[in-house]
């Protein structure tokens, strides 16, 4: 288990952040999301040491769509980071947890009027506008309240981020953001500059997710810096803030690269400094939005192995008590994961097997062709790096209750989100 954050092998069993995984499975049941508070806090502190404490007038906000619970909101707040929310539900959760609204950034495309009203009424620090529709709606909302709403424009720089097309967001053909065509740009700038109730702060871009090289970030930044210069020249407007997005990769497989935050932010900050020195412009306030990078490797999922179905000469399917409803990413993105049998951690691999979920879908395969010790019914399977976009994307497909979330820290554990019951599945039905 070398290279997996927080994992130790003790007496043939797996321990995560000091907790016996087999014991957690027996105590809370499976499937079970296990999140390490230690790793989450360590990652938040790395963001501070490598970015917010290193550079003047910068900020980091956690992209909460990766993993948002009341517990997580409180942890992020206590570590001094801001938070990015993309819906009325995420905003409600953050406020319910007591997160300071001025440290919230409201994101997302296709925001509803009701969501924008809630964001303005709650006093979120920034709203990232994604379309003219949103700009005009925000103007009406702000005018009705006689307030000024501070906005950034999300732009699509048109770069190839070399990631799965479903999580690439910075290309020209994207549902996100504002294209940089000159005629389109003028419409957007005039809409804000002519409004007494919208305060233009600057620009935002995000090139995609799970990106291991900084090439696309730097290419996008170069395009947006040119936009900043054009905005000053054409409209006489200084860009006071620049949001660089996130998308920094994490390790899903033991041999995956681990670029770290500095790999991305250091060259981007240097590029911004050079630009400002060359143009005589003031440095904008720079923000980053790590999400997956903070929680991805901080989580794992425990399953109980049930059926073992061998098709001679073809494949052995190992069935578990979860699947697509608790982890849609393999089916959606062809995502790859690494796993181990928690109660056989000291044994060498014996078989090549495929981990099959329990949904009535041929595509419900969690891991294809992984080497494991000989699996048996009742074994506890641990799938690693499931902290991001597992709990937050979970569903009740096939009427499966969503798993509990347990937060662990240095040998202690606590229930963070209780397991759904069958009664919960029917609670909204009349």
Q: Which residues are catalytic?
A: 360
Return d(Cα 416, Cα 173) in angstroms, integer: 39
Specify the pairing of strand 178-179 against strand 58-63: unpaired
**Count of beta carbons in the 10 Å neighbourhood of residue 333:** 16
Distance separating alpha carbons of residues 62 and 86, to the nearest angstrom: 12
Residue 384: CB partners within 8 Å, gap ≥ 6? Answer: 4, 7, 252, 297, 300, 337, 338, 339, 340
Cα radius of gyration rounded to whole Å, the chain: 23
Name which of 144, 143, 104 is nearest 123 in CA terms. Answer: 104
Who contacts 239 (Cβ-Cβ below 8 Å, separation ≥6)?
201, 202, 203, 228, 231, 232, 281, 284
Name the token pair of 421. Answer: 């019951």
Contacts of 84 (CB under 8 A, 6+ apart): 61, 62, 63, 64, 65, 104, 105, 107, 289, 291
Name 179's bridge partners. Answer: 156
Is residue 168 a contact partner of residue 205, using CB atoms and an 8 Å limit? no
User: CA-to-CA distance for 298 and 310, rounded, in angstroms?
Assistant: 33
Q: Which two tokens stand for residue 259?
A: 């670029």
Q: Which alpha helices (H) appear in 101-153, and where do they start and end?
A: 113-122, 132-145
Closest CA to 72 of 322, 268, 193, 63: 63
């Amino acid at each position: 288990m070398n290279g997996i954050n927080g994992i130790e092998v003790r007496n043939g069993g797996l321990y995560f952040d000091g907790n016996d995984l087999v014991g957690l499975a027996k105590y809370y049941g499976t499937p079970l999301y296990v999140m390490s508070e230690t790793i989450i806090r360590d990652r938040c502190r790395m963001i501070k040491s490598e970015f917010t404490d290193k550079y003047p007038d910068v900020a980091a906000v956690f992209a909460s769509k990766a993993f948002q619970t009341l517990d997580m909101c409180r942890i992020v707040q206590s570590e001094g980071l801001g938070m990015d929310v993309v819906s009325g539900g995420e905003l409600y959760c953050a406020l319910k947890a007591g997160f300071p609204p001025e440290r919230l950034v409201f994101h997302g495309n296709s925001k509803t009027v009701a969501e924008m009203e809630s964001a303005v009424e709650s006093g979120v620090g920034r709203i990232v506008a994604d379309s003219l529709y949103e700009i005009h709606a925000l103007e009406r909302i702000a005018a009705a309240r006689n307030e000024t709403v501070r906005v950034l424009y999300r732009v699509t720089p048109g770069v190839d981020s070399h990631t799965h097309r479903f999580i690439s967001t910075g290309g020209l053909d994207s549902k996100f953001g504002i294209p940089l065509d000159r005629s389109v740009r003028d419409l957007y700038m005039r809409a804000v500059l002519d409004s007494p109730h919208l305060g233009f702060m600057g620009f935002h871009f995000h090139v995609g997710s799970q990106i291991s090289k900084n090439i696309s970030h730097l290419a996008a930044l170069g395009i947006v810096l040119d936009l900043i210069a054009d905005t000053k020249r054409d409209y006489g407007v200084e860009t006071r803030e620049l949001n660089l997005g996130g998308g920094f990769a994490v390790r899903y497989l033991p041999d995956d690269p681990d670029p770290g935050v500095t790999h991305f932010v250091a060259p981007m900050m240097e590029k911004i400094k050079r630009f400002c020195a060359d143009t005589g412009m003031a440095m904008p306030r720079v923000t980053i939005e790590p999400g997956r990078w903070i929680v991805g490797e901080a989580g794992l999922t425990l399953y109980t192995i049930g059926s073992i179905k061998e098709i001679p000469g073809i494949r052995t399917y190992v069935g578990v008590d979860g699947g697509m409803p608790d982890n849609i990413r393999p089916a959606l993105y062809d995502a790859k994961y690494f796993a181990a049998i928690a109660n056989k951690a000291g044994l060498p691999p014996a078989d090549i097997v495929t981990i099959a979920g329990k949904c009535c879908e041929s595509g419900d395969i969690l891991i294809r062709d992984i080497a494991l010790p000989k699996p048996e019914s009742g074994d506890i399977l641990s799938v690693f790096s499931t902290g991001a976009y597992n709990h937050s994307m979970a569903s009740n497909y096939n009427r499966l209750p969503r798993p509990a979330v347990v937060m662990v820290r240095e040998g202690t554990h606590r229930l963070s989100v209780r397991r759904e019951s069958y009664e919960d599945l029917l609670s909204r039905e009349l």
